[in-house]
Amino acid sequence: MSRLFVYLIPVFVIAVFMVMAHFERRVAHDPTHRGFFDRNGTVLGIAFIALVAFWTLFLVVLPYLYMVQESFHPKLVAAERGGPKDILTLEQYRSFFIQPTDGEVNTTHLWAFFFSLAASAAVTVLNFAICYPLAYYMAQAGSVQKVRLLMLALIVPYWVNEILRAFSLRLLLASKGLINQVLMGLGLTDAPVDFLGNNVGLYVGLSYAYLLVMMFPLYNAVESLDKNQIEAARDLGAPWWRIHKDVVIPYAKPGIASGCTMVFMLSAGSLAAPQFLGGPKTLWFTSIVYDFFFQAFNWPRGAAYAFLLLAGCIALVMLMLRVFKVSLGETIR
């Protein structure tokens, strides 16, 4: 019974939405306005609403709510669900901070959480630094033909899936890999450098995986900047770095924010790069979640950790947007 409670939330949101739509229609009074079913025909109107409702309810909102709900329940076998043991509890969240087995502080998981977020933030900054010059060059200096060719060249590697891209990096960075062969051949090192063990592989892999995600929002943002503004700044004697700092970057801020948000969220939630390129001692937070599902079969705890990850990511993104004074609305546009 308690589990059905979640259905009240979407009902409430839909009610709010309807009230909002109705209210706005009355405020923006427009005699030529026609109702939704009037404008689309009854059959099509119902079909549109049904499709959108199926998506937003059954594929988006309800699954999220069920996951959150699961995280507040104890680990149960199927037969016990709905029985007397099926109570609401905070035990899964407590286990993130304090080991349920010995009552010690859960340093492993806490560290993994902060490491994942910090490493994702670092990868985000790295990708911005790598992509900004090319995005600027393509948007402001390149000819149309050249830009289209560059775009195509950017997209093609991304049709190879994430796993194989991680695999290709592993071939390069492994102790018997090409880079170590070159380094040893040149006599720069005697023993192979352990790129994968000390997480160089992880950072490179994450950066490589989401390069394009940074590139496109940046390009789109810089592209619409009027070239005359840059000319004007240059004519007034601004050095190149001030042109970027005071003209281009403020203008492209929404695009930068959206690229950074995407890269950060994707890295923090990534599974392939940490699994295949991370060192043996590195514990990425999504890998912990993965293990709760597939090794410990502790779904409630996995759900709780997943929810913590989501909450942590959103909190950090919001904080950053606040610090850099960008509104969320601008970012997702």
Partner 1 sequence: MSSQSIIKVMIGFYVVLFFAYLFGPLMVMSITAFNTPSYPSAYPFEGFTLNWFVKLWNHRAMMDGLVNSIIIGIGVICVSVPVGLAAAIVMNQIYHRARSLYYLVTVSPVLTPGVIIGISTVIFWRDFSEMTGTRGLFYKGIMLSIFGQASFISAYCLLIIMARLQRFDRAQEEAALDLGASYPQVFWHILLPFLRPALVSAAVIAFLSSFENYNTTTFAILADKTLVTVLAGEVRQGTTPALSALAVIIIGLSLFGAIAYEVVKRREERRSARIAERAKLAERGELAAGEAAPVAA
Query: Of 12, 48, 97, 111, which lies in the binding site for partner 1, with binding defined by CB under 8 A?
Result: 48
66/97 with CB nearer partner 1: 66
- H-helix segments, the chain: 8-27, 36-40, 42-53, 62-71, 91-97, 107-136, 144-155, 162-173, 178-185, 200-209, 211-223, 227-235, 240-243, 249-251, 253-268, 272-277, 285-294, 299-323, 328-331
Query: Does 21 participate in binding partner 1 (rule CB under 8 A)?
Result: yes
Query: Does 219 participate in binding partner 1 (rule CB under 8 A)?
Result: no
Query: Of 5, 8, 11, 54, which lies in the binding site for partner 1, with binding defined by CB under 8 A?
Result: 54
Q: Look at residues 314, 320, 298 and name the one whose alpha carbon lies nearest to residue 73.
A: 298
90/182 with CB nearer partner 1: 182
Tell me how far, at minimum, the Cβ of 103 lies from partner 1, in Å. Answer: 28
Q: Could you say which residues in the range 83-142 bind partner 1, by CB under 8 A?
A: 130, 133-134, 137, 141
β-pair partners for 98 = 105
Interface characters, 1-20, with partner 1 (x: CB under 8 A): --x---------x--xx--x
Tell me how far, at minimum, the Cβ of 231 lies from partner 1, in Å. Answer: 15
* 106: Cβ contacts below 8 Å, ≥ 6 apart: 95, 96, 97, 98, 99
The count of other CB atoms within 10 Å of the CB of residue 143 is 8
Q: Could you say which residues in the range 170-189 bind partner 1, by CB under 8 A?
A: 170-172, 176, 178, 181
Token pair, residue 32, equals 């030529």
Query: Of 99, 220, 275, 298, which lies in the binding site for partner 1, with binding defined by CB under 8 A?
Result: 275
Query: Does 311 participate in binding partner 1 (rule CB under 8 A)?
Result: no
